[in-house]
Amino acid sequence: MELQFLGTGAGVPAKHRNVSSIALKLLDERNAVWLFDCGEGTQLQILKSTIRPRKIEKIFITHLHGDHIFGLPGLLSSRSFQGGNEKLEIYGPVGIAEFIRTALKVSQTRLSYELKFIEIKEGVVFSDKQFTVSCKPLDHGIASFGYRIVEADHEGELQVDKLAALNIPSGPIYGKIKRGESVELPDGQVINGKDFVGEKKLGRTVTILGDTRKTPNSVALAENATVLVHESTFNKDEAKMAKAYYHSTSHQAAQVALEAKVEKLILTHISARYLTGDIIQLENEAKEIFPNTKVVKDMEIIEIPFKAE
């Protein structure tokens, strides 16, 4: 499981930061990519990566400001030309379906795959045996949501080497052992399957927030998360401006991470007015409150480890 940041800028594209888009790469888990927001130029950023548009099975939109959605029509169209025939689901606030349908209709774009819209409200928006995705509204002056992605626990792996050492041949018996059952071997020996299965790995939790002021819902969404992705549009001295524009400061993002007891804080949605020195300052400001903080740049990949036991 990895996060790749296709766009880390705020509001408008800059030379070194495109506008918002984050890929949650679940290639090992389900051979798929989930996209969170799709600002202008996202498909160009994808061309610089190893991501294949046909692998994108879900797109989650946090809110309907242009720097988070203007890349959608182009990406959806290109996906048709690049072998994408599988159904694509798009989650987002009310209005996302109208925006996309209008753009496709006016441009006379026909897709080679089924498009399904899920206009969200607070609660669980997707769940299967592997993942549960829920959302809560944030505070941005427009309907804006944060998403919490919770992975199911991984069952322990069958310790094949230990079985081979006992000359236990592979076959249906391995299934019983994997389930932790007691098994009688041909020589009469009885083994406990639980002795041949490794420790369960706790599932990971990723929280990706839309643009927002500091709000209790941010903390609730991020509770005990492995990784929290939070905007940092303003520095700690610009709290009044952040409030006026419905955004957060570096300190406020760090306070959310601290209160939620997350493992790692990732700061994104960086203003084009910030130069290299300013970005270092943003990161250091957040570290004053939450040391395990990183400001990401475009195309950066962050691996999401299993939670330490």
Residues identified as active-site? 67
Residue 33 burial (CB < 10 Å; 0-12/13-18/19+)?
A: buried
Strand duo 115-119 + 2-7: pairing: unpaired
CA dihedral angle for residue 84, residue 85, residue 91, residue 92, rounded to 10 degrees: 60
Backbone angles phi, psi at 302, to 5 degrees: -115, 120
Rg of the Cα trace of the chain?
A: 22
Find out whether 279 and 293 touch, Cβ atoms under 8 Å.
no
User: For residue 132, which of 78, 207, 195 has the smallest C-alpha distance?
Assistant: 207
CA distances from 234 to 63, 105, 201, 212 (A): 19, 38, 37, 12
- Distance, in Å, from the CA atom of 57 to the CA atom of 116, rounded to the nearest integer, reads 11
How far apart CA 74 and CA 43 sit, in angstroms, is 7
**Could you give the CA distance from residue 135 to residue 126 in angstroms, rounded to a whole number?**
10
Q: Are 6 and 269 in contact (CB under 8 A)?
A: no
Q: What are phi and psi of 61, to 5 degrees?
A: -105, 130
What is d(CA 4, CA 209) in angstroms, rounded to the nearest whole number? 15
Distance from C-alpha of 297 to C-alpha of 301, rounded to nearest angstrom = 9
